[in-house]
Amino acid sequence: MKSTREPAVAGMFYPSDPEELRQEVLSFLAAAGGDRGKPPKAIVVPHAGYIYSGPIAATAYAQLAARAEEISRVVLFGPSHRVAFSGLAYSAAETFLTPLGSIPVDLAAYESIGDLPQVRRLEAPFEGEHCLEVQLPFLQLILEGFRIVPFLVGDAGTEEVAQVMERLWGGDETLIVISSDLSHYLDYESAKAIDAETSRAIEGLHPEAIGYNQACGRNPLNGLLREARLHGLKARTLDLRNSGDTAGPRNQVVGYGAYAFS
């Protein structure tokens, strides 16, 4: 029997009712507008509850519409919030489920990196983890048909992440998704300042300029910045806001940025 990873945060981070979820995501995408340039090879998107970060994430996903038919594999990297470990982890699950249906996993991709010592199969980090799950409904409503290769990143260096990413870089059929929020629990003005600094580092492809407190997904993000430089990609900021702009108070905010690499 195929093993399926059930959704952990449906009904909390996003609606559990399929039609409500569909309409909410489509409304985010409609508000995000159309194309802003060449369709991206990679995107960076936030991962909070949709009420907070959904509008920002949508600005990145909306960029994929022009190449939706050619993308058949999505490689996702996000930080482990609940379990500490070294390296990168993947699940044995053959499908990931959301209220919108199931998404198959490209199991052959894991075989192609089986010799890398920093990669291992671990189920515990995926239990209750939200950072990859909240990206899936957006992908389901943008892409025609695709497989995923999901990774959670623990204590891993830039080179360790980049090595995995390089193996799975592929061609036009492959999209890279980095799930990361920016600063956490600063006041509104302080968050705006540090998030602007982080955005400049992302646009400049400078992983060494992004500190631990600037992005919870710093490790996978920095791996992408290294690979983007290697492959001659350019990064552009699509949206930069925080929870004080969307649905929260301004005394303690979380920063959200959306970025496209093409």
Condensed to tens digits (0 to 9), the pLDDT of residues 84-142 reads: 999 999 999 999 999 999 999 999 999 999 999 999 999 999 999 999 999 999 999 99
CATH number at residue 10: 3.40.830.10
Quickly list H helices, 33-183. Answer: 50-61, 107-111, 136-142, 158-167
Chunked mean pLDDT (size 10), the chain, 262 residues: 89 98 98 82 98 98 94 98 97 98 97 97 97 98 96 98 98 98 98 98 97 96 98 98 96 98 98
pLDDT at residue 1, rounded to an integer: 52
Q: How many domains does the chain have?
A: 1
Non-local (6+) Cβ contacts of 62 within 8 A are: 29, 32, 33, 34, 35, 142
Kind of pairing between the strands at 73-79 and 184-186: unpaired
Domain of 238, in residue numbers: 4-261
CA distance 194 to 214: 7
Q: How far apart are CA 190 and CA 196, in angstroms?
A: 10
159 phi and psi angles, rounded to 5 deg: -65, -35
